[in-house]
Structure 1
Amino acid sequence: MATGQAPFNPVPAMRTFPPVEHPVVVIGPQYLAQYPVELAVNSDFKVSDINGTLIFQVKSKLLSLHDRRFLKDAAGNTLVNLRQKIMTMHGRWEAFRGESKEKNDLLSTAKKSKLFQFKTELDVFMGYNKREVPDFKVKE
């Protein structure tokens, strides 16, 4: 990429929904849509919009002691480093900026809401949240 050039970030397809009232920027403002976006994840962990435009992809680190995954943009740049914490009852994952694993680059943590689940339900805590109350819930 030449100096001064903006990275390629495809614009996801827009549907007719009201604008998001209180958007939360996690990775960076270039990834913030002003409207809800429908995304699909295929078996290769490629994330596309409803038109099939690649938005993100998830890559795993092979032969690692820790379960590590990397969220990459469409151009292959690492946005988030996902690490599973070992020996936690709720299956906690941590998300760090880029390829970092430093606490000051912690974006969020997620854990299962309940020990035993039939459908996925996660509690998500932003990196700055030190309370027991999650910032978001993800439900299947």
Structure 2
Amino acid sequence: MATGQAPGNPIPAMRTYPPVEHPVVVIGPQYLAQYPVDLGVNSDFKVSDINGTLIFQVKSKLLSLRRRFLKDAAGNTLVNLRHKIRTMHGRWEAFRGESKEQSDLIFTAKKSKLFQFKTELDVFLGNNKGEVPDFKVKEGNSESSCSILLGDSNTMLAQWLLWW
């Protein structure tokens, strides 16, 4: 088992890349790979590595459009995603596990601009009460690709392609 790997979760396929100098831990260190990992998301919101090994999945409760759950490969709920009603920027809140308590807030995400042709989200970690986001999520040249940037910079942290 890789250092920091959660029990019962698969080790993602490794590619040859330089090591990550300053990794950012959002959910927990047990889900932090010590190397870049190529992941893909299919139309069922299952996240797999290049070998097709399930790493994460997003599930929703029956008849709920406003709540989603990020689960690890073992089915453990990592994050409870709640869509806030009546917000101009379509805000989502992410809480640890199945909690809804403010003390368990991991991050919030909202549209960067009210009107957009391509999706762009500002992501604020739970302790960030300022105006500058910790991350930006930007749709790529097609709806099936996306990049995650550090704050308001052009420093790319991750990118993905939706697998159909």
Where 2:117 maps in the other structure, the secondary structure is coil
CA distance in 1, matches of 2:117, 2:19: 33
Matched with 2:85 is 86
Runs of 4+ aligned residues of structure 1 deviating over 3 Å after TM superposition are none
Cα deviation, residue 7, structure 1: 2.8
CA distance in 2, matches of 1:112, 1:19: 31
CA distance in 1, matches of 2:34, 2:60: 30
Kindly provide the CA deviation profile for residues 67-110 of structure 1, in whole angstroms up to 9, marking residues without a partner as x: 00000010111000000011111111000000000000000001
Where 1:95 maps in the other structure, the secondary structure is strand
Matched with 2:116 is 117
- The number of residues matched between the two structures is 134
Where 1:104 maps in the other structure, the secondary structure is helix
Q: Which amino acid aligns with 2:121?
A: L
Identical positions, percent: 88
Matched with 1:134 is 133
CA distance in 2, matches of 1:122, 1:20: 24
- Listed as ranges, the matches of 1:7-86 within 5 Å are 7-64=7-64, 67-86=66-85
CA distance in 2, matches of 1:116, 1:17: 37
Q: Give the conservation status (yes or no) of the 8 Å contact 1:61–1:67.
A: no
Q: Structure 1 length normalisation: TM-score? A: 0.90
Most deviating of 54-63 and 91-100: 54-63
Q: Structure 2 length normalisation: TM-score? A: 0.78
Where 1:9 maps in the other structure, the secondary structure is coil
Most deviating of 70-79 and 23-32: 23-32
Q: Which amino acid aligns with 1:52?
A: G
Cα RMSD, aligned residues only: 1.2
